[in-house]
Structure 1
Amino acid sequence: MASAELDLAYTEQAFSECPQCPHRVEPEGGPAFCTLRPRGAAHPFAALAGLDLPE
């Protein structure tokens, strides 16, 4: 499945504050990423609400 939505997950974690940041998420089996996003930005999973999945 391909998506035209932007990838909102910040995975570089280059800031010195990243290891202690409350917005850091460490998923099992994947790289850590940041959930902090600009004010007014759509939720990262908002695009999924419009998916039309075959039954």
Structure 2
Amino acid sequence: MERDATILDKGHRRGPLTENAGVNRVTVAKIETGRKQGSVTTLRALADAPGVSMGDLAG
């Protein structure tokens, strides 16, 4: 998933990112690999955790 890669490229590690967002690491991995589509709520939580916009999350 390119959306999460954008955040990870900015220096955020997956573990702290998922913990701060309250999103399971397995869920993020599935979204990244395209095996699962992230809900708006999940994507918002991932964007808010490091303080980026939904636009940044979308790439």
Query: Larger RCO: Structure 1 or Structure 2 (Cα < 8 Å, ≥ 6 residues apart)?
Result: 2
Fold-level similarity (TM above 0.5): no
Bigger radius of gyration, 1 or 2? 1
- TM-score, normalised to structure 1, is 0.26
TM-score (norm 2): 0.25
Q: Relative to total residues, which structure has the larger helix share, 1 or 2?
A: 2
